[in-house]
């Protein structure tokens, strides 16, 4: 069945996203030092980007994966917060002049524009470290001890995944790269953290190995589709709509799916990847309505 004609279960995704974003914001607020805690500048800078209005997709995926595995969202919450801290750190660093050099993110001035480059680098570093501090506070899951949880996050954020993607992205600027090199970048720069988010949700629910494999398959495909849609939005939406500078990829001569295969083929690939993600959810026998709705939304999103 095509993604367009697929009948979605009766699931109120907007309500789910809004309520989970509220819960995640509350939890993040309680995990982070207050903005008055000395040295106040760094805590203000961390909070500035963390609470700048991100969509909280990765935490939502983490919590939805926990629910699909019959778990309790409260057990997944520290892990949902940890991935959001890592995601926000990566955006702060990505926006720096030495990287993508952007002035706007999440509809606001970027961290370095407000706090200066030095503090922005440190705010990113502190959020990365904060992620591990938060994750280490999760309760012990019988099948997945703290060691597994920390390894999971470290691997997704490390030099073989998130950082590797960013390195290849930087080195690919202005060069002709192939579709398979572009897939390498997307797998690491974007898919790795989305995949890690759903895997952590499953682990917090003490999921069975087959469920973890299904979540990995789901997260991988949703992650690739997510980045293709991001590339499409970069050329089809305005900066106001995106909350960040539109058209940056073309200006920086970045390789993207629309640049390599065109817009329509890119949309087709994103739909195909989303179908693969849906297929991975079969094992959950109807208990993955939130994950399914999230994958459908990520394909159709306009910001
Ligand atoms: C270590 C110096 C140093 C830098 C690391 C790894 C890295 C910098 C950057 C990669 C981050 C990046 C821009 C990945 C692309 C993923 C992506 C499309 C992010 C946007 O995600 P959304 O749409 O954003 O979920 P919001 O703002 O809603 O959270």
Q: Are 92 and 42 in contact (CB under 8 A)?
A: no
Q: Is 13 exposed, middle or buried (0-12, 13-18, 19+ CB in 10 A)?
A: middle
Q: Give me the pLDDT at residue 248, please.
A: 81
Per-residue pLDDT of the chain (303 residues; tens, 9 = 90+): 566 556 666 799 999 999 999 999 999 999 999 999 999 999 999 999 999 999 999 999 999 999 999 999 999 999 999 999 999 999 999 999 999 999 999 889 999 999 999 999 999 999 999 999 999 999 999 999 999 999 999 999 999 999 999 999 999 988 888 999 999 999 999 999 999 999 999 999 999 999 999 999 999 999 999 999 999 999 999 888 888 888 888 777 888 999 999 999 999 999 999 999 999 999 999 899 999 999 999 999 988
DSSP3 helix / strand / coil % (the chain, rounded to 5): 70, 0, 30
CA dihedral of 163, 227, 83, 70, whole degrees rounded to 10: -140
Q: Is 276 exposed, middle or buried (0-12, 13-18, 19+ CB in 10 A)?
A: middle
Q: Which of 62, 153, 190, 225 to mutate to test the pocket of ligand 1 (most atoms within 8 A of CB)?
A: 190
> To which residue do tokens 């920390």 refer?
150
The span from the CA of 15 to the CA of 150, in Å, is 31
Give the distance (Å) from ligand 1 centre to CA of residue 286: 31
Give residue 146's region: left, alpha or beta (phi > 0; psi -120 to 50): alpha
**Which pTM value belongs to this model?**
0.95
Rg from Cα positions in the chain = 18
Is the peptide bond between 124 and the residue preceding it cis, with omega within 30 degrees of 0? no
Residue nearest to atom 2 of ligand 1 (CA): 93
Give the distance (Å) from ligand 1 centre to CA of residue 208: 30
Give the angle subtended at the CA of 293 by the CAs of 158 and 56, to the nearest 5°: 45
> To which residue do tokens 């050099």 refer?
101
DSSP reduced 3-state for 253: coil
Q: Give me the pLDDT at residue 238, please.
A: 87
Give the distance (Å) from ligand 1 centre to CA of residue 35: 24
Q: Which of 40, 83, 57 is nearest to 203 (CA)?
A: 83
Q: Give me the pLDDT at residue 14, please.
A: 96
């Amino acid at each position: 069945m095509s993604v367009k004609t697929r009948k979605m279960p009766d699931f109120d995704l907007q309500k789910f996203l809004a309520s989970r974003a509220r819960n995640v914001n509350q939890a993040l607020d309680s995990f982070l030092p207050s903005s008055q805690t000395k040295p106040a500048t760094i805590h203000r800078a961390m909070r500035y980007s963390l609470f700048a209005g991100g969509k909280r997709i990765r935490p939502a995926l983490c919590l939805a994966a926990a629910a699909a595995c019959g778990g309790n969202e409260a057990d997944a919450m520290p892990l949902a917060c940890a991935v959001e801290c890592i995601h926000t750190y990566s955006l702060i660093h990505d926006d720096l002049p030495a990287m993508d050099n952007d002035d706007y993110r999440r509809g606001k001035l970027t961290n370095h524009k407000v706090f200066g480059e030095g503090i922005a680098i440190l705010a990113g570093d502190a959020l990365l470290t904060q992620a591990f501090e938060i994750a280490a506070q999760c309760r012990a899951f019988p099948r997945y001890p703290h060691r597994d949880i920390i390894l999971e996050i470290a691997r997704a954020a490390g030099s073989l995944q998130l950082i590797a993607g960013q390195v290849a992205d930087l080195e690919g600027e202005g060069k002709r790269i192939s579709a398979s090199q572009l897939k390498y970048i997307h797998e690491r720069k974007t898919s790795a953290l989305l995949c890690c988010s759903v895997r952590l949700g499953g682990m917090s629910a003490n999921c069975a190995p087959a469920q973890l494999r299904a979540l990995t398959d789901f997260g991988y495909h949703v992650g690739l589709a997510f980045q293709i849609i991001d590339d499409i939005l970069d050329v089809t939406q305005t900066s106001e709509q995106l909350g960040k500078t539109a058209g940056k990829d073309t200006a920086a001569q970045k390789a993207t799916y629309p640049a390599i295969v065109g817009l329509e083929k890119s949309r087709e690939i994103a739909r195909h990847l989303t179908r693969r993600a849906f297929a991975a959810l079969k094992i959950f026998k109807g208990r993955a309505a939130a994950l399914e709705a999230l994958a459908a939304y990520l394909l159709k999103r306009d910001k």
